[in-house]
């Protein structure tokens, strides 16, 4: 079966949730899944649940635990190093282990914030094994990432509780 490329993007909620759903579906059918979270610490409820599944490997890289706009230049350098190493590890592991699905959660932000070289992602996508399905998520994907996608699903924010001052809730938003 030929692997395709999915892109879940937009300003709305649900990009990671959709990627998690596909990962669970794939693992439920016996497929090997690598779930890599960029700029997140891997402690969310979905990562905990995925890590408990037999066929799923979860990786995360956010060494300073801050949003990019809060980071010092040194923290940005450390983050870029960690993100680049994790991308190489996730891509290499997915290929070596014959994974059916590789999820690159928030890869669009990692690229747009300058933490990950877009050319590395594009080279991987262009040279990946024919059977490897790839999901990319995040806001503001580049034209080059969009051009490689077989599916593009855009989440639109029409209403969100945050706009009324409701903070993210454990078990629902993270």
Residue-range domain boundaries for the chain: 5-164
Give tens-digit pLDDT for 79-94.
Answer: 999 999 999 999 999 9
Distance CA 77, CA 6 (A): 29
Give tens-digit pLDDT for 6-36.
Answer: 999 999 999 999 999 999 999 999 999 999 9
pTM confidence score: 0.94
Provide the CATH topology of domain 5-164: Rossmann fold (3.40.50)
| 73: helix, strand or coil | helix
Q: How far is CA 6 from CA 35, 104, 110, 152, in A?
A: 14, 10, 17, 6
Quick one: tokens of 36? 């890599």
Quick one: tokens of 52? 């408990």
């Amino acid at each position: 079966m030929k692997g395709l490329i999915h892109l879940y993007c937009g300003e709305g909620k649900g990009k990671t949730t959709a990627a998690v759903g596909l990962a669970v579906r794939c693992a439920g059918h016996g497929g090997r899944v690598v779930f890599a979270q960029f700029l997140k610490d891997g402690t969310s409820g979905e990562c905990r649940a995925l890590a408990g599944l037999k066929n799923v490997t979860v990786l995360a890289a956010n060494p300073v635990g801050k949003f990019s706009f809060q980071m010092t230049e040194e923290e940005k350098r450390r983050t870029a190093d960690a993100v680049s190493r994790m991308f190489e590890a996730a891509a290499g592991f997915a290929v070596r282990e014959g994974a059916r699905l590789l999820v690159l959660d928030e890869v669009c932000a990692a690229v747009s914030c300058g933490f990950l070289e877009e050319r590395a992602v594009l080279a991987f996508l262009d040279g990946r094994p024919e059977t490897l399905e790839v999901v990319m998520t995040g806001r503001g994907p580049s034209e080059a990432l969009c051009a490689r996608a077989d599916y593009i699903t855009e989440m639109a924010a029409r209403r969100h509780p945050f706009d009324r001052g409701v903070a993210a809730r454990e078990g629902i938003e993270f």
